[in-house]
Structure 1
Amino acid sequence: MHDSLDLSPDSLVVAGGRPERGRDASVNPPVVLSSTFLGTGPLGPGDRGYGRYANPSWEPFEEVLGQLEHAGEPALLFSSGLAAVSAALSLVPLGGTVVMPGHSYAGTVQMASELAEKGLFSLQLVDVTDTREVLAALHRESGPIDLLWLESPTNPMLGVAELPALLDAARSAGILTVVDNTFCTPLVQRPLLLGADLVLHSVTKYLAGHSDVVLGALVTSDAELRARLLHHRALHGAIAGPWEAWLALRGVRTLALRIERSQASAQLLAERLARHPAVERVRFPGLPSDPGHRRAKEQLDGFGSILCLQLAAAGGRSGAQNADSLVEALRLWVPATSLGGVESLIERRRRHLAEPESVPENLVRLSVGIESVEDLWEDLRQALDALPAAESSAG
């Protein structure tokens, strides 16, 4: 493995995690299909031993992601994003307290809520866009906070947190911090450089990028913290399959191109959607009218490829009914959950029972892919034009 930290991210996604060069050497790392590895005597650091402890097929991806996040340590690959969430929450001591955005990914909030109901820790949900509210939660008089969970932009409301201020306050108070960086990827935001202790990714999304694997990852610069998480992964068994790891690495190779294309398309679509009479509101940090625009412009290297729109009530139909009609009328956009793939996906988020009631019923989340932006817009336009126009709209 060579030191690729001096490369730009656009080059690193291509060059990182390659085998050592030599005559007739493989250009790509191989897939290693083995449940166990040869060895005698006591297992020491670096020994693979058994397939639950390590696999050569994980390591190239872990190397690249660690370098992209400027960790100084390889990432840790998990069997799913929620497996990574579970491992991160395992760091909270019994009876501790977690502060988390109420609009975090629904699976994260659901898991934390269930663990809190079992008495493993206390959970306080906050509006992560309100810096004062979060800071007040971190300095409450009733007891110390053990973990600050952050997600920015949030899923699906696209709220932007003031990450530098929140991470600085948590570090000063000795509070462990986790940032879910799934929406941004390390090409747009690097939370470790802002002071985060741990970064989480649903690798399923942008990093793998082709809607064909389910994986998660954790990244940290703290070798001791990484060792604790590695022990948790080995003991609890939430490991990645070698084929999935290989596919994720293959997806990373085109990450920079996919992000560049999808971000540009998302910006254009958001601007056009904001002017359509059937649309009540567009949520996208790239719009100057968006509440998170200023923070996103200061903190991010782009505005991401996720946008949300809310459909207006019109023609005796609710906004939610019009949202469902929109999704059903599309031909190119794929009506499915998840995000970050090459194909553009769309769904009304409240169709998920776990989605909090604070998410509007008429909110539709769009994950912009890499298709022609004009084809994507034409598909949206024809579906929106078929809806009854609202008497007034706020774009």
Structure 2
Amino acid sequence: MTDAASNALPAAEGHPGHLAPDTVVVSAGRPERVHDAAVNPPVVLSSTFVGRGEVEHGDRAYGRYSNPSWDPFEETLAELEGSRLPGLVFASGLAAVSAALSLLPPGGVLVMPQHSYQGSLAVAGQLADRGALTLRTVEIADTEAVKAQLAGADMLWLETPTNPMLEIAELKALTEAAHAAGALVVADNTFSTPLGQRPLESGVDVVVHSVTKYLAGHSDVILGAVVTPDEALRRRLVEHRSLHGAVAGPFETWLALRGVRTLALRIERSQATAALLAGRLLAHPGVEAVRYPGLVQDPGHERARAQMDGFGSIIAILVKGGAEAAETVVEALRLWVPATSLGGVESLIERRRRHVNEPESVPENLLRLSVGIENPEDLWADLAQALEKAQA
């Protein structure tokens, strides 16, 4: 760890890290405050580090084990999630997912939402095909149905809201049920970010992030991260990262930390715009249905309101006219960017079933909207004209 932890600011009661989250994103992971010190941590471009004697766990030693440029980001993420141990940065979100799945015993039983991120489902499915695990997919919003699948399970994978259906899992109840069944609980917190919810507070064992998305926030890095307050689990995850080589570049990690500095402002803006757009889309004649937890009509609204600090910046809509009409909307847009991924400053839109790995239960006419920080009226005007063209 760096000296940044010793520079913690005074306590703000009731929040992990003792500071409000919009302060943590700015203040955490800073260098020691000494005369003429840099305000920002440096980028350390070195593949190896000076050392003598036996290499022990925690030694820097080699760039596959650790890098000083990782430390500030890992400490900041841990403080945001409410972990007493630093997080772990990985080369990609899927590298972080793979590391978390490595905590399963050989042939273990994994319970996973049927509408998880398709990359997570693909990795789990591949491992299941090889006999490395048994996969049970569930409707994660149906708490009782999930509990019924936990008998004999070794891990419960939570994603809430789900990608791209925006279903809301009952975090605390499912975590308690999984622990009672003897299962570890992993939560993918990419959509919500630690500003929207902190799964560790509900007893979750491991939190996974695609840092590529909201944390970095500028569509310019590929990174992932894992956070756990359990020392034994963290040591296993460190070993997995070191041996499998899914290590992050120092410059990419530095960029991610720079992105985190504006996370609160970006989320505040994009979330407010998402709420505005979701309401207008709900009333639009060219839209069959809207999923957004902030809508009182949404099936997950009450649950989201109870366990989240905000409803997020992702909207899912079903376009009248099927897949062809949905594609017409995408093609007609001029401000929204037709692209995969999410969480950047620019607004992105995508018909998710264009991906061959997307579950068949995801409707062909579903568009996932990642709301950025542009002017809300400009975003709406672009959506409205595209929807009109699709219905013409």
> How does the TM-score come out when normalised to structure 1?
0.95
CA deviation string 1:271-321 (max 9, x = no partner): 0011111111111111111111110111100100000111112xxxxx111
Determine the structure 2 residue equivalent to 1:105. Answer: 117
CA deviation string 1:144-183 (max 9, x = no partner): 2111111000000000011111001112222100000000
Residue 92 of structure 1 aligns with an amino acid whose one-letter code is: L
Residue 113 of structure 1 aligns with an amino acid whose one-letter code is: G
Greater share of helix? 2
Q: How does 1:212-361 map to 2 (within 5 A)?
A: 212-313=220-321, 319-361=322-364
Residue 332 of structure 1 aligns with an amino acid whose one-letter code is: L
Residue 241 of structure 2 aligns with an amino acid whose one-letter code is: R
Determine the structure 2 residue equivalent to 1:51. Answer: 63
Alpha-carbon separation, structure 2, partners of 1:300 and 1:285: 10
Determine the structure 1 residue equivalent to 2:39. Answer: 27
Q: Is the 8 A contact 2:326 2:390 kept in 1?
A: no
Q: Helix, strand or coil for the counterpart of 1:138?
A: coil
Alpha-carbon separation, structure 2, partners of 1:224 and 1:267: 41
CA apart distance, 1:96: 1.1
Q: Helix, strand or coil for the counterpart of 1:207?
A: coil
Alpha-carbon separation, structure 2, partners of 1:217 and 1:149: 16
Alpha-carbon separation, structure 2, partners of 1:326 and 1:387: 6
Q: Is the 8 A contact 2:328 2:389 kept in 1?
A: no
Residue 72 of structure 2 aligns with an amino acid whose one-letter code is: P
Determine the structure 2 residue equivalent to 1:3. Answer: 8
Determine the structure 2 residue equivalent to 1:369. Answer: 372
CA apart distance, 1:3: 3.1
Number of corresponding residues: 380
Determine the structure 2 residue equivalent to 1:81. Answer: 93
CA deviation string 1:74-98 (max 9, x = no partner): 0000000000111111111111111
Q: Is the 8 A contact 2:44 2:68 kept in 1?
A: yes
Q: Helix, strand or coil for the counterpart of 1:47?
A: coil
Q: How does 1:203-214 map to 2 (within 5 A)?
A: 203-214=211-222
Q: Is the 8 A contact 2:30 2:72 kept in 1?
A: yes
Residue 253 of structure 1 aligns with an amino acid whose one-letter code is: R
Q: Which runs of 5+ in 1 are unaligned?
A: 314-318, 390-395
Match of 1:196 among 204, 212, 235: 204
Alpha-carbon separation, structure 2, partners of 1:209 and 1:388: 33
CA deviation string 1:193-229 (max 9, x = no partner): 0010000000000000000000000000101110110
Alpha-carbon separation, structure 2, partners of 1:193 and 1:129: 19
Q: How does 1:72-151 map to 2 (within 5 A)?
A: 72-139=84-151, 144-151=152-159
Q: Helix, strand or coil for the counterpart of 1:46?
A: coil
Determine the structure 2 residue equivalent to 1:392. Answer: none
CA apart distance, 1:368: 0.2
CA apart distance, 1:382: 1.1
Alpha-carbon separation, structure 1, partners of 2:374 and 2:366: 23
The sequence identity of aligned pairs, in percent, is 66
CA deviation string 1:308-336 (max 9, x = no partner): 111112xxxxx111100101111110000
Alpha-carbon separation, structure 2, partners of 1:103 and 1:212: 26
Residue 289 of structure 2 aligns with an amino acid whose one-letter code is: R
Determine the structure 1 residue equivalent to 2:176. Answer: 168
Determine the structure 2 residue equivalent to 1:383. Answer: 386
Q: Helix, strand or coil for the counterpart of 1:187?
A: helix
CA apart distance, 1:387: 2.4
Q: Helix, strand or coil for the counterpart of 2:259?
A: helix
Alpha-carbon separation, structure 2, partners of 1:277 and 1:261: 27
CA deviation string 1:362-386 (max 9, x = no partner): 0000000000101100111111122
> How does the TM-score come out when normalised to structure 2?
0.96
Determine the structure 2 residue equivalent to 1:183. Answer: 191
